[in-house]
């Protein structure tokens, strides 16, 4: 059966060559019970490992059934081991976390047997070694002798022609030892049993051959009973492990050691939540920076806003608005575009509310608190649901009167109030009805808006006065006391005229702003001084100021109180905004998407920030990956023996990889599911974790799936890497490294 001719084994260790054994010649037959003795270090284990194909040899030739093996590949030896060899070790090499039954079963599962068809066979063998009452006991709870009997059962179950036992009684007391030898002897019928022992008396009565080794050589080879008619060995039948059994083992391994399960679970939970949080944080800052995009001119850069003015530069008429409103994709039109982009203060006593001013015509929501306005001095406040004012200061706001001040534009110099407004209704804004990016908006009557618009036109206009062929700059004011076509000017201006004759002189007023230009040609009817100021203009004496020109109210309004020159439309469907722009153009308008007004510089800056964020996110995920990888590797290192044992029992690289992969997959999936359940509970407020709920709102189902794939791929990579390391060396080398 087995023949060794001049076989030598060398160990190469960091450049030093050590000899395992030298020039061994040996012939062993089926039916023999071979006992090998010798001092420690004499090469017994090395010989057994070479014979059982666990280790390679360097010199000579080993014949199996007359066939040379010196050219054997790893794969050939694997096949040889699975057909011929069962090992029993001094240190048992059992899976401590498995039961007796599971340990015996493992060999068969790894060799492609179906679970149900081997049950009786396993129970029979367990009975033969006398462990029936312990069949469901974990091996870690057994005594040494019992453990070795499990190892024998495991060696028997595959029914291989050769059983190799390296000091099987070395760790046992005398009684257990002789029991073990007795069982081995029973098994030995029709097999070749090779056993290493120090205690030759124990085996003397059974042995058919006794071999003595010393310093790597055989010094005595005594045949006690000659085997003449060697039987042909019955090769053990094996198949590759079925995928089903791989899953069975993978899942069994997930849970069989609780501390390992908990550790891996914790690491997977950590990495899943870290990756999800990092990704969600990235999404959150991304979304926020999107809405933070800004422009000097326009604050509301909503994607559905189009800013329009007329190609002929005239102001909008009701007819224009009607045409625009008839377009299909128009959600609503904000006529007074100027108010969208600035916030206006409403003040009372010690409190100011800042918000944009909108026409009550545009109010589409519902009143959540209070009622609809009933006259032109009542307004609606629209505030975010969670805004401080609504939550904490409602009684300071509702039904309270605020003053709206004159434009706070570039020329603002006073805090003259336009009028008093009372907040009678509140609309709570959900985030999706985004009219603009401000926290508050006020819906007021059209008259409030036109008053303020006029005021704003004045603020943003340049005024030139032509008097006596010279241009000067003055401010225009309205006064009820001034007749149409006339102007009242400061008394000092008379010095520009010969004989100071200013009355009845012509005066021209030119105003211009980005929307329009206008002029007014008047005649000076009078001059004011400090003393006659109040009488002439009808104004309070505190308003006295030398650089003003008073004109009739109606003419003043003709200069400033213009209809809108610029409006905004909001579309329903952003997808077809380009079509809407085309339609607006054909109505004689200049449409511009508000989102196009994002400042270039800001956009570039935002893009750089975005790239940095992407890189940081990727780096963080990679770093997390490696931290987890290292931790998992350390946890798995303690499993080296388990996987090497699998390998010795016949598992291939692919099998080990797959079984480990399934274990990590099951564990990471459980961790991921727990995390998702946790997030769900925060979302439905069973667990109070506002930040997590907020973060998770930035994750969609797709992203949960994507992150799950990331975690799964990671666990696959780890199992691949770990399996490769396990198979880098011979099984016995890997095993010895760890024992």
The residues of the shown chain that bind ligand ADP, judged by CB under 6 A, are 11, 13, 18, 20, 38, 40-46, 736
Residue 11 binds which entry of ligand ADP, Mg ion, none, with Cβ cut-offs from 5 to 8 Å by kind? ligand ADP
- State yes or no: residue 454 binds Mg ion (CB under 5 A): no
In sequence order, the 6+-apart residues with CB closer than 8 A to the CB of 117 are none
Q: Which is nearer to ligand ADP, 197 or 617 (CB)?
A: 197
Q: Which is nearer to ligand ADP, 199 or 697 (CB)?
A: 199
In sequence order, the 6+-apart residues with CB closer than 8 A to the CB of 302 are 434, 436, 437, 570, 594, 595
Residue 111 binds which entry of Mg ion, ligand ADP, none, with Cβ cut-offs from 5 to 8 Å by kind? none
Cβ–Cβ under 8 Å, residues 111 and 82? yes
Sheet holding 566-571, edge to edge: 330-334, 566-571, 305-310, 589-593
Binding residues for Mg ion restricted to 31-70, rule: CB under 5 A: 45
Q: Which is nearer to ligand ADP, 14 or 71 (CB)?
A: 14
Cβ–Cβ under 8 Å, residues 559 and 522? no
Instruction: Quote the CA–CA distance of 92 and 95 in Å, as a whole number.
Output: 9
Closest distance between ligand ADP and the C-beta of residue 44, in Å? 4
Burial 109-141 (b: 16+ CB within 10 A, else e): bbbebeeeebeebbeebbebbebeebbeebbee
Residues β-bridged to residue 10: 19
Closest distance between ligand ADP and the C-beta of residue 697, in Å? 59
Axis crossing angle, helix 640-648 with helix 653-683, rounded to the nearest 10 = 140
Cα–Cα nearest to 520, from 491, 542, 487? 487
Q: Which is nearer to Mg ion, 45 or 256 (CB)?
A: 45
Q: Which is nearer to ligand ADP, 45 or 148 (CB)?
A: 45
Give the tokens for residue 706: 């994507």
Cβ–Cβ under 8 Å, residues 361 and 447? no
Binding residues for Mg ion restricted to 288-347, rule: CB under 5 A: none
Distance of CA 42 to the CA centre of its chain: 58
Closest distance between Mg ion and the C-beta of residue 128, in Å? 27
Q: By three-state DSSP, how is residue 28 classified?
A: strand
Q: Which is nearer to ligand ADP, 241 or 732 (CB)?
A: 732
Work out the number of other CB atoms within 10 angstroms of the CB of residue 177. 21
Q: Which is nearer to Mg ion, 161 or 168 (CB)?
A: 168
Residue 373 binds which entry of Mg ion, ligand ADP, none, with Cβ cut-offs from 5 to 8 Å by kind? none
Size of the site for Mg ion (CB under 5 A): 1
Closest distance between ligand ADP and the C-beta of residue 131, in Å? 28
Closest distance between ligand ADP and the C-beta of residue 56, in Å? 12
Closest distance between ligand ADP and the C-beta of residue 52, in Å? 13
Residue 601 binds which entry of Mg ion, ligand ADP, none, with Cβ cut-offs from 5 to 8 Å by kind? none
Q: Which is nearer to ligand ADP, 8 or 403 (CB)?
A: 8
Residue 486 binds which entry of Mg ion, ligand ADP, none, with Cβ cut-offs from 5 to 8 Å by kind? none
Closest distance between ligand ADP and the C-beta of residue 18, in Å? 4
Q: Which is nearer to Mg ion, 45 or 682 (CB)?
A: 45
Cβ–Cβ under 8 Å, residues 107 and 650? yes
Q: Which is nearer to Mg ion, 45 or 111 (CB)?
A: 45
Cα–Cα nearest to 517, from 528, 505, 508, 504? 508
Cα–Cα nearest to 79, from 61, 67, 90? 67
Q: Which is nearer to ligand ADP, 20 or 53 (CB)?
A: 20
Alpha-carbon dihedral angle through residues 393, 396, 400, 404, given to the nearest 10 degrees: -80
Residue 42 binds which entry of Mg ion, ligand ADP, none, with Cβ cut-offs from 5 to 8 Å by kind? ligand ADP
Q: Which is nearer to ligand ADP, 11 or 626 (CB)?
A: 11
Closest distance between ligand ADP and the C-beta of residue 14, in Å? 10
Closest distance between ligand ADP and the C-beta of residue 148, in Å? 18
Instruction: Quote the CA–CA distance of 641 and 332 in Å, as a whole number.
Output: 72
Q: What does the DSSP 8-state code read for residue 228?
A: -
Cβ contacts of 245-248, under 8 Å, gap ≥ 24: 245/109, 245/110, 245/112, 245/115, 246/655, 246/658, 246/659, 246/662, 247/662, 248/109, 248/115
Distance set, CA 301 to CA 221, 298, 355, 576, 653 (Å): 96, 7, 16, 17, 59
Rg (CA), the chain: 47
Closest distance between Mg ion and the C-beta of residue 736, in Å? 10
End-to-end CA distance of the chain: 32
In sequence order, the 6+-apart residues with CB closer than 8 A to the CB of 439 are 354, 355, 383, 384, 387
Closest distance between ligand ADP and the C-beta of residue 115, in Å? 37
Closest distance between ligand ADP and the C-beta of residue 208, in Å? 21
Closest distance between ligand ADP and the C-beta of residue 9, in Å? 8
Cα–Cα nearest to 260, from 652, 705, 620, 643? 643
Residue 13 binds which entry of Mg ion, ligand ADP, none, with Cβ cut-offs from 5 to 8 Å by kind? ligand ADP
Cβ–Cβ under 8 Å, residues 82 and 108? no
| Beta-carbon-side half-sphere exposure of residue 48 (alpha carbons within 13 Å) | 28
Residue 46 binds which entry of Mg ion, ligand ADP, none, with Cβ cut-offs from 5 to 8 Å by kind? ligand ADP
Q: Which is nearer to ligand ADP, 315 or 736 (CB)?
A: 736
Closest distance between ligand ADP and the C-beta of residue 637, in Å? 19
Residue nearest to Mg ion (CB): 45
Q: Which is nearer to ligand ADP, 21 or 597 (CB)?
A: 21
Work out the number of other CB atoms within 10 angstroms of the CB of residue 84. 25
The contact set with Mg ion (CB under 5 A) reads: 45
């Amino acid at each position: 059966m087995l023949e060794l001719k001049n076989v030598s084994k060398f160990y190469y260790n960091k450049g030093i060559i050590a000899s395992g054994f030298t020039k061994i010649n040996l012939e062993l037959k089926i039916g023999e019970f071979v006992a090998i003795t010798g001092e420690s270090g004499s090469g017994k284990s090395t010989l057994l490992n070479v014979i059982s194909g666990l280790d390679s040899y360097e010199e000579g030739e080993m014949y199996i059934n007359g066939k040379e093996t010196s050219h054997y590949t790893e794969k050939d030896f694997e096949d040889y081991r699975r057909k011929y060899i069962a090992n029993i070790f001094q240190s048992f090499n059992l899976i401590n976390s498995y039961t007796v039954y599971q340990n015996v079963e493992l060999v068969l599962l790894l060799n492609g047997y179906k679970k149900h068809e081997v049950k009786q066979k396993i129970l029979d063998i367990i009975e033969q070694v006398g462990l029936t009452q312990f069949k469901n006991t974990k091996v870690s709870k057994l005594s040494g002798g019992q453990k070795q009997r499990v190892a024998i059962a495991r060696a028997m179950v595959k029914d291989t022609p050769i059983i190799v036992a390296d000091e099987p009684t070395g760790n046992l007391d005398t009684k257990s030892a002789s029991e073990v030898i007795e069982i081995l002897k029973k098994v030995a019928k029709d097999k070749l049993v090779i056993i290493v022992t120090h205690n030759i008396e124990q085996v003397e009565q059974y042995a058919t051959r006794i071999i003595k080794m010393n310093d790597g050589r055989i010094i005595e080879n005594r045949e006690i009973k000659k085997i003449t008619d060697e039987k042909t060995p019955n090769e053990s039948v094996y198949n590759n492990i079925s995928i089903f059994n791989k899953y069975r083992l993978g899942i069994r391994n997930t849970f069989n050691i609780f501390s390992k399960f908990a550790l891996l679970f914790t690491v997977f939970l950590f990495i899943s939540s870290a990756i999800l949080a990092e990704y969600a944080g990235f999404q959150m800052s991304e979304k926020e920076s999107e809405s933070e995009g800004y422009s000097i001119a326009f604050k509301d850069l909503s994607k559905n806003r189009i800013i329009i003015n007329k190609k002929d530069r005239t102001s909008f008429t009701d007819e224009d608005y009607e045409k625009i409103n008839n377009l299909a994709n128009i959600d609503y039109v904000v006529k007074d575009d100027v108010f969208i982009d600035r916030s206006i203060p409403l003040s009372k006593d010690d409190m100011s509310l800042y918000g944009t001013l909108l026409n009550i015509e545009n109010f589409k929501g519902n009143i959540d608190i209070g009622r609809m306005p009933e006259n032109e001095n009542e307004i609606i406040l629209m505030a975010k649901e969670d805004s401080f004012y609504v939550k904490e200061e409602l009684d300071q706001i509702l039904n309270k009167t605020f003053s709206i001040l004159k434009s706070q534009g570039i020329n603002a110099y006073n805090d003259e109030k336009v009028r008093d407004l009372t907040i009678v209704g509140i609309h709570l804004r959900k985030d999706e009805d985004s009219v603009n990016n401000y926290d508050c908006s006020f819906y007021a009557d059209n008259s409030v808006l036109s008053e303020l618009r006029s005021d704003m036109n004045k603020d943003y206009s340049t005024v030139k006065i032509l008097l006596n062929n010279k241009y000067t700059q003055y401010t225009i004011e309205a006064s009820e006391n001034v007749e149409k076509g006339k102007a009242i000017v400061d008394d000092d201006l008379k010095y520009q005229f010969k004989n100071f004759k200013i009355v009845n002189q012509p005066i021209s007023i030119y105003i211009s702003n980005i929307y329009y230009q206008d002029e007014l040609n008047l005649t000076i009817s009078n001059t004011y001084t400090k003393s006659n100021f109040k009488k002439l203009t009808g104004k309070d004496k505190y308003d006295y100021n030398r650089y003003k020109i008073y004109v009739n109210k109606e003419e003043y309004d003709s200069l400033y109180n213009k209809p809108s020159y610029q409006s905004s439309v909001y579309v329903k469907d952003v997808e077809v905004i380009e079509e809407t722009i085309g339609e607006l153009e054909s109505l004689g308008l200049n449409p511009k998407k508000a989102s196009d007004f994002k400042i270039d510089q800001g956009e570039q800056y935002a893009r750089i920030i975005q790239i940095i964020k992407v890189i940081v996110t990727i780096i963080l995920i990679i770093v997390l990956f490696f931290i987890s990888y290292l931790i998992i590797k350390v946890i798995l290192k303690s499993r080296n023996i388990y996987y090497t044992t699998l390998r010795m029992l016949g598992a291939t690289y692919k099998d080990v990889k797959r079984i480990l992969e399934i274990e990590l997959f099951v564990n990471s999936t459980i961790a991921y599911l727990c995390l998702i359940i946790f997030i769900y509970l925060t979302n439905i407020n069973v667990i109070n974790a506002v930040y997590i709920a907020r973060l998770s709102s930035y994750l969609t189902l797709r992203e949960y799936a994507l992150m799950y794939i990331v975690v799964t791929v990671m666990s696959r990579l780890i199992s691949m890497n770990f399996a490769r390391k396990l198979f880098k060396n011979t099984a016995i080398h890997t095993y010895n490294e760890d024992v």
